[in-house]
Amino acid sequence: GVASGAYRALLAQGDGFVGVGDARPQGRPTTELVVRHGADGAVMGSATGYVSLGQAADVRVRGAAAGGDGVVAIAALLEDGADDAGLFAVAQADGAAIQAIRDVDAMSTRDRFLAVARTANGFVLVGETAGDLLVEHLDAQGSPVAAFGDQGRLVLNVAGGRDVARGVVVQPDGGVVVVGSAEEEGVSRFLVLRLTAAGAPDAGFGDQGSTLLDFGAPAEDAVGFGVALDPRTDQIVAVGAAGPAASRHAVIVRLGR
């Protein structure tokens, strides 16, 4: 039985959909949940859907992306007391685990993965590390893509405060667009960042690769949560929230490529 569970992402795949989230089976830590559904919503296959990675701590899914051949990539947090560690895993769409392709013991517990997207040769993960924005590019086997950033990894601080990446999309030319928040003088700004395929800020986009947005006068806290490309124009469309916690409102913005 399952004490509790929730989907965190929905992926279109083949002739149906894949729900990805986390669940707490009776007597076990919270673990990943991957369930394949037909177009009518019915569960397909006989697998339980649990992705067992052998972790003794709770695993909280934060994002997912579809790969080839029924593969699902998962960005998650491994919660272990006061520390959270980033976890990246791949699974089959029927819920069968393939591998956890990041060695959590070898990672800094300051790394937190919050979203993932597919690239031409692997996956890009975004989140934060020690208050800075984090972007990692891994190949399909989970090894860093050395040509991206600093040996597959980019750590960046845009405005001097806490920076967090919460959404990511890959453009047709291999560029990576990241949305999230950047703290500037105590106020959280809606951040849109574009990186080249080599993992460097694109100097031709915004202010040396980034754009900080606020929605209000005086400026209010704002944060980006999701990003996509307009299929007609390839323009960037991002969504998020702005305003004080008690009365936040949804925002959507469109930017040039």
pLDDT along the chain (257 residues), means of 10: 78 85 79 83 67 67 85 82 73 67 55 92 92 92 91 94 96 96 91 97 94 77 95 94 86 89
Q: What is the pTM of this model?
A: 0.86
* Helix then strand then coil, % of the chain, to nearest 5: 0, 60, 40
Kindly list the domain boundaries of the chain, sorted by start residue.
1-104, 110-257
Burial classification of residue 142, based on how many CB atoms lie within 10 Å of its CB (0-12 exposed, 13-18 middle, 19 or more buried): middle
- With H, G, I as helix, E, B as strand and everything else as coil, classify residue 247: helix
Query: 110-257: CATH homologous superfamily?
Result: TolB, C-terminal domain (2.120.10.30)
DSSP-based three-state secondary structure for 118: strand
Distance CA 131, CA 8 (A): 24
pLDDT of residue 152: 94
Q: What single-letter DSSP state applies at residue 69?
A: T
Q: 230-236: long-range contacts at Cβ-Cβ below 8 A with a sequence spacing of 24 or more?
A: 230/254, 234/171, 234/172, 236/169, 236/177, 236/192, 236/194
3-state secondary structure of 143: coil
Token readout for 230 is 């307009």
Closest CA to 199 of 113, 129, 116, 134: 134
**pLDDT for 232:** 92
| Paired residues of 163 in beta bridges | 182
Beta strand segments in 104-186, E: 111-119, 122-129, 132-139, 153-156, 163-170, 176-184
CA distance 91 to 22: 13
Contact in structure between 116 and 157 (CB atoms under 8 Å):
no
Gap between the Cα atoms of 94 and 51, Å rounded: 10
Q: Which of 103, 109, 133 is CA-nearest to residue 199?
A: 133
